[in-house]
Amino acid sequence: AHQWQGVISEYRERLPFAESDPIVSLGEGGTPLVHARALDERTGARVYVKVEGMNPTGSFKDRGMTTAISKVLQSDTQVVACASTGNTSASAAAYAVAAGLKSAVILPAGKIAAGKLAQAIVHGAHLVAVDGNFDDCLNITRALTERYPVALVNSVNPYRLQGQKTAAFEIVDYLGDAPDIHVLPVGNAGNISAYWMGYNEYAGRPTIASLDESAAHMPPISTKVPQMWGVQAWGAAPLVLGHPVEKPETVATAIRIGNPASWKFAEAARDDSHGWIDRVTDDQILNAQAILAAEVGVFIEPGSAASIAGLLKAAEAGKVPEGATIVCTVTGNGLKDTATALGGRELDFDPIAPTPEAAAAALGF
Ligand code: F0G
C-alpha cells in the first residue's frame, strides 16, 4: 500500500531540493481535507477544513520544518533556533532530533500551551523563557543567529514557506482546482504568504515570496487562485489596524503576535487575491472551536479556530457567496491546549458502582 512520503518527497519537483540532497522528514503533510457539512449549513457555501493538526507534531509547522531543517543538513551548523508561541518550537525540537541536531527555543514566559511546552521538553530542546512577548523573542533569536553559528528556523527563513506552500498543492490535487476562497488564521503571517505562493505556483505564476530555484515555471495545474481571507485575534490584529500592536493579547496564544515578520507578503496575498484580513474576538474564537468539536468532529486549538470564526463572522455579515467552495485551514491540534478548551469544566467525576446497572442508571437508559 502507498504510504505518504512527506512533503519534500511528494513535491520535490516544486521545491528547492535535488534528488540527491539529504532530507529529514517525519512524514508530514497529506493531511485530511474534511467536508464540514455543519459549516455548509451555517454559511450557504461548501466548506472544507484542512486538518493540519494531523501532522506529526500536531501543527502545520512540520511542513516548513522538514524543508528548513533539511537545508541545515547541507551546512556545518549543528544547532537550530526559533522564537515561538509554541508550535514552531515543538516542531523544531522534533525535527532537530530526527536530523541529529540540537535545538534552542526562545519562548514568551507563561504564554505557551502546556502540550506544546511538553513537546519541546520531551524532544530535548534547550528552552529559554523570556519576560516578554513573541515579538521580543523573535528579535532576540534573530540577533543570536547573526552572532553565533546557529540556524534560524522561524518563517523568516525562506525554506519554511517553501515547505508550507505544499498545503495549497494538496488542496488543489484533492479538489481538482483551487477553491474560490481560502480562510486561515494569521499570526506572524508566514502561512498566508506560503499558501498564496503555493496557489500561484500551481496556477503557473510565481509571487514575490517565490524562490528563483523553485519550480514556479512548471506547467500550471490549476485554472485559478482563491481569494485569501486572513483572520487575526481582536487584541493582536496589526494587519487589520495597519500598525504593530505593542502588547498583543488573546486567549489564542498561538497568534498572540503584534508585529508579524511576513507583513509585506501577507498584504500582497490579501490585495492581489482581492481578499481581506479581519479580526475576531476571543469569544468568537472559543465559540468556533466549540462548533467544530461538537458539530464537525474535529478538535482544534484556539488559534486555528480564528479561521472558522472569521468565516462565520463573514457569513453573518452576508459576505459569503452562495455555493462558493471554501477551504479553512485549521492549523493545530486541540490536544495541545486542553485547559483552554475545557474552560474550567471539571475533570473529576463522582464514580458509580462497577456494574452495568449503575452505568445504565447514570446514563438514563
Ligand atoms: N495557528 C497556529 C496553531 C499557530 O501556531 C500559528 C503560528 C498560526 C496559526 C499563525 O501562523 O504565524 O504563519 O501566521 N504559530 C507560530 C509559532 C508563531 O511560534 O508556533 P503564521
Q: Which pLDDT band, with edges at 50, 70 and 90, does 206 fall under? A: confident
Question: Can you give the pLDDT at residue 213?
Answer: 63
Q: Pick from 116, 188, 256, 270 the residue to mutate for probing ligand 1's pocket: most ligand atoms within 8 Å of its CB.
A: 188
How many residues in the chain?
365
Whether 87 is in the pocket of ligand 1, judged by its Cβ within 6 Å, is: yes
HSE-up (13 A, CA, CB side) for residue 296: 27
Please tell me whether 58 is known to bind a ligand. Answer: no
Q: Pick from 62, 298, 331 the residue to mutate for probing ligand 1's pocket: most ligand atoms within 8 Å of its CB.
A: 331
Domains of the chain, by residue range, sit at: 7-59+159-342, 61-157
**Of residues 261 and 216, more confidently modeled:** 261
Question: Can you give the pLDDT at residue 2?
Answer: 87
Sign of the C-alpha dihedral computed for residues 101, 89, 20 and 6 taken in this order: positive
Question: Can you give the pLDDT at residue 12?
Answer: 95
Please tell me whether 189 is known to bind a ligand. Answer: yes
Q: Coil, helix or strand for 320?
A: coil
Please tell me whether 87 is known to bind a ligand. Answer: yes
Question: Can you give the pLDDT at residue 112?
Answer: 97
Whether 250 is in the pocket of ligand 1, judged by its Cβ within 6 Å, is: no
Q: What average pLDDT score do residues 313-318 get? A: 98
Give the residue, by CA position, lying nearest to ligand 1 atom 19: 84
Question: Can you give the pLDDT at residue 298?
Answer: 98
Please give the mean pLDDT across all residues of the chain: 96
Q: Which three cell numbers stand for residue 325?
A: 467552495
Give the residue, by CA position, lying nearest to ligand 1 atom 3: 332
Question: Can you give the pLDDT at residue 240?
Answer: 98
The least confident of 133-147, 203-217, 278-292, 333-347 is 203-217
Question: Can you give the pLDDT at residue 247?
Answer: 97
Question: Can you give the pLDDT at residue 211?
Answer: 85
105 CA distance to ligand 1 middle (Å) = 15
Please tell me whether 333 is known to bind a ligand. Answer: no
Q: Which pLDDT band, with edges at 50, 70 and 90, does 208 fall under? A: confident
31 CA distance to ligand 1 middle (Å) = 17
What's the pLDDT tens digit per position in 112-129? 999 999 999 999 999 999
Sign of the C-alpha dihedral computed for residues 284, 285, 290 and 295 taken in this order: positive
Q: What average pLDDT score do residues 351-361 get? A: 97
DSSP labels, 174-211: HHSS--SEEEEE-SSSHHHHHHHHHHHHHTT---TT--
- Same CATH topology for 7-59+159-342 and 61-157: the answer is yes
Partners of 328 in the beta sheet? 49, 183
Q: Which atom of ligand 1 is nearest to the CA of 85?
A: 19
Q: Which atom of ligand 1 is nearest to the CA of 194?
A: 13
96 CA distance to ligand 1 middle (Å) = 19
Q: Which pLDDT band, with edges at 50, 70 and 90, does 140 fall under? A: very high
CA 64 to chain CA centroid, nearest Å: 10
Please tell me whether 268 is known to bind a ligand. Answer: no
What's the pLDDT tens digit per position in 148-179? 999 999 999 999 999 999 999 999 999 999 99
Residue 215, pLDDT above cutoff 70: no
pTM, two decimal places = 0.97
Q: Which pLDDT band, with edges at 50, 70 and 90, does 207 fall under? A: confident
CB 77 within 8 A of CB 21: no
CATH topology classification for 7-59+159-342: Rossmann fold (3.40.50)
End-to-end CA distance of the chain: 43
Percent of the chain clearing pLDDT 90 (strictly above)? 94
Other beta carbons within 10 Å of 194: 29
Residue 218, pLDDT above cutoff 90: no
Give the residue, by CA position, lying nearest to ligand 1 atom 15: 254
Whether 307 is in the pocket of ligand 1, judged by its Cβ within 6 Å, is: no
Q: Which atom of ligand 1 is nearest to the CA of 193?
A: 13
Residue 214, pLDDT above cutoff 90: no
Give the residue, by CA position, lying nearest to ligand 1 atom 10: 187
Question: Can you give the pLDDT at residue 99?
Answer: 98
Whether 180 is in the pocket of ligand 1, judged by its Cβ within 6 Å, is: no
297 CA distance to ligand 1 middle (Å) = 22
Q: How far apart are CA 3 and CA 209, in angstroms?
A: 31
The kind and range of the H/E element at 266 are helix 263-272
Question: Can you give the pLDDT at residue 212?
Answer: 74
What's the pLDDT tens digit per position in 11-59? 999 999 999 999 999 999 999 999 999 999 999 999 999 999 999 999 9
**Of residues 3 and 215, more confidently modeled:** 3
- Complex ipTM: 0.99
Whether 59 is in the pocket of ligand 1, judged by its Cβ within 6 Å, is: yes
Whether 194 is in the pocket of ligand 1, judged by its Cβ within 6 Å, is: no
Percent of the chain clearing pLDDT 70 (strictly above)? 99
Question: Can you give the pLDDT at residue 216?
Answer: 58
Strand order in the sheet with 79-83: 126-130, 102-108, 79-83, 150-152
CATH of 61-157, one of 3.40.30.10, 3.40.50.300, 3.40.50.12590, 3.40.50.1100: 3.40.50.1100
Question: Can you give the pLDDT at residue 164?
Answer: 98
Give the residue, by CA position, lying nearest to ligand 1 atom 12: 188
